Chain A
Amino acid sequence: TQLLEQSPQFLSIQEGENLTVYCNSSSVFSSLQWYRQEPGEGPVLLVTVVTGGEVKKLKRLTFQFGDARKDSSLHITAAQPGDTGLYLCAGAGTDSWGKLQFGAGTQVVVTP
């Protein structure tokens, strides 16, 4: 089992501030995904990164995959209340087709 550790577990910030969420493992992943989950709903895919060192931007969200493909980060610039949610990272092992290993998640709360 490839463990994915997310940090911090909980983050509360004011609107307009920046934040970074981390996802770390000792294992190599063929790809890594970030999902956002709102209360009472299922996770929604935000981005997939597949190449070591890759950086993807989605409006105010920046995702980075580590050079060794063992870790990833999510940075939100000028956070808004609509960014509130549970952020989950999920990695696909190099030998485990389709089966994702999920981190426990980071709960982000952005207050106006």
Chain B
Amino acid sequence: NAGVTQTPKFQVLKTGQSMTLQCAQDMNHNSMYWYRQDPGMGLRLIYYSASEGTTDKGEVPNGYNVSRLNKREFSLRLESAAPSQTSVYFCASSQTHDGADEQYFGPGTRLTVT
């Protein structure tokens, strides 16, 4: 049981290049999330998917697109990378337990845009 996996672990892009961050979970969770983490700002939600076939914008969606490929996989795409998108990106999935939504995170992708 691997939990939440993310690829790649590290990536360096030049301004204007595109890339897709991959995420997969094997816990049969319905909901999945993409966050970015920047120093002093905590985790900020980019997009989320409440169930297979649905996606919604979070707090900071500009410059990103997502695809919920199936129940297991949720990808994040940067069409034209900008230096402001330099960050650590985390994928998470969640289950409801005792009335609360508990999230499980992947190990992160460290992205640098030059």
Smallest CB separation, B23 vs chain A (Å): 11
Chain B positions within 8 Å of A, measured between CB atoms, are: 4, 31, 40-45, 48, 50, 58-59, 90, 92, 94, 97-108
A104 touching B98 by the CB < 8 A rule? no
When distances are taken between beta carbons in the complex, the residues of chain B under 8 Å from A98 are 31, 48, 50, 94, 101
Q: Which of A12-20, A40-48, A71-79 lines the interface with chain B?
A: A40-48
Flag if B99 contacts A50 (CB, 8 Å): yes
* Total count of chain A residues near the partner, CB < 8 A: 25
Are A48 and B98 also in contact (CB < 8 A) when A42-B107, A88-B43 are?
A: yes
Q: A-side interface residues toward B, CB under 8 Å?
A: 1, 4, 9, 30-31, 33, 40-45, 48, 50, 88, 90, 92, 97-100, 102-105
Residues from chain B with Cβ under 8 Å of A102 in the complex: 42-44
Closest Cβ neighbor of A9 among chain B residues: B40
